[in-house]
Amino acid sequence: MVYFMYNVMLVQAADSLTAFLSNGLGALVGTIIANSKSFIAKAKILRKTIGGGMTQVVVLCAPTLVALEENVSKLEGYHQKAKILAEGLNKIKELKVDMASVQTNIVYFDILKGSNIMETHLCKILVAHGVVTMLEGPFELRLVIYH
């Protein structure tokens, strides 16, 4: 059995849960749906109706098993590292992280207006040091912690 650490406050109003195995877990593709058997049966039919499914699914099974058996337990560590990163970014006076938004392994941060930091230049510096980032807006960047 695999346990995913969902924040109960975030999912208590949901009628189902979905976990994408390719996001930070190491599987090539894959999604898990948690709900009743009848709900999942309907989801499978809908998936096939809109063209989902693969004939060579066996090729994908090994990475998916590794993702479930070895990498799910690492998620909490990624989330903790993201919070540490966010706290560190907040110590830089030209940057701002909304700490309440750091609930997973994703950290968004803003470059404050009036700062001497240019977002494109910061991205180039980070890439030169092996850190890939993504511009989310004119003054907002995104970092993701994963293995």
Give the domain CATH number at 100.
3.90.1150.10
Q: How far is CA 50 from CA 5, 42, 46, 113, in A?
A: 30, 12, 6, 45
Q: Residue 98: give the domain boundaries.
A: 75-144
- Is 122 among the domain residues? yes
| Rounded mean pLDDT, 51-61 | 66
Token reading at 95: 């940057």
Q: Is there a single domain that holds both residue 79 and residue 140?
A: yes
pLDDT band at 16 (very low <50, low <70, confident <90, very high): confident
Q: Do residues 82 and 122 both lie within one domain?
A: yes
Q: Which helix (H) or strand (E) holds 79?
A: helix 75-90
Domain match, 79 and 53 both: no
Q: Which residues sit opposite 95 in a β-bridge?
A: 111
Residues 88 and 130 in one domain: yes
Identify the top-confidence range among 34-48, 78-92, 118-132.
78-92
Residue pLDDT, tens place only, 115-131 = 989 888 999 999 999 89
E strands present in 62-138: 95-96, 106-111, 134-135
| Counted domains in the chain | 2
